[in-house]
Structures are given as C-alpha cells and as structure tokens.
Amino acid sequence: MADSPEEIRKKTKTYLAVGSVLFIGTVLTVMVATQEWLDFGGHGFDAYDCIVGLCIASVKASLVAAIFMHLNHEKKAIYWIFFGSFVFVFFLAWLLKLAHDSPIFDQFFYR
C-alpha cells in the first residue's frame, strides 16, 4: 500500500475510534448478560439475550475485520480466499447437523 503520511495519520484516528467502540461493545455485552434492566427476553438470561450478545459480538468482529484488517478496501483475491473459507465452515457445520440428526445414533443414545 502506498499510503501517504497524511492518510496514515487520518487512519490512526479511525483506529482509535474503532478501538473505543470495541471497548463499549464489550461492556454492553456484559451488561446484556448480567443486568436485569437490560433484559431482552423478559425472563432473565435466555435465548434473546444470547442473540443480542452475539449480534454485538458480530458487529465488533466485523469492525475488526473491516478496519483493522483493512477488509473494507482490499483486493478481490483476498475476498475470495477469506470468505471462501466460510463456505467450508458452513458446509462442515451442516455435515455435523446431518450426523446430529441421524437416526443411526439413536441406538447409542436412547437405550
């Protein structure tokens, strides 16, 4: 990357801002999980709070990937390599689901 000094100085400000957002996001996640007044499901800690917590985590992860790892302006080849790997992850997870739902295993688990 042929970044000029001005651009880099500008970038460091962005990095600092993203860092603060990450800190705030972390505190928010802990509060969603522990504080009663931030209770989403209305029944204490439950699936709703899980989903909210994981959504915050996803936003944080996207920020790290987009800004810190420069994925917001990257070459095409890298998008193919990186996001291509997720296809395999979901495929493998789906295979696990097949195994999980398979009636073959019932004979071991449901005696």
User: Would you count residue 38 as binding other proteins (CB under 8 A)?
Assistant: no
28, 56 contact by CB (below 8 A): yes
User: Would you count residue 16 as binding other proteins (CB under 8 A)?
Assistant: yes
User: Would you count residue 28 as binding other proteins (CB under 8 A)?
Assistant: no
- Helix (H) or strand (E) segment spanning residue 44: none
User: Would you count residue 54 as binding other proteins (CB under 8 A)?
Assistant: yes
Q: How far is the CB of 103 from other proteins (least distance, A)?
A: 14
Q: How far apart are CA 45 and CA 55, in angstroms?
A: 15
Q: How far apart are CA 95 and CA 106, in angstroms?
A: 17
Q: How far apart are CA 90 and CA 95, in angstroms?
A: 9
66 to 105: interface string for other proteins, x by CB under 8 A: --xx-----x-xx--xx-xxx-xx--xx--xx--x-----
User: Would you count residue 23 as binding other proteins (CB under 8 A)?
Assistant: yes
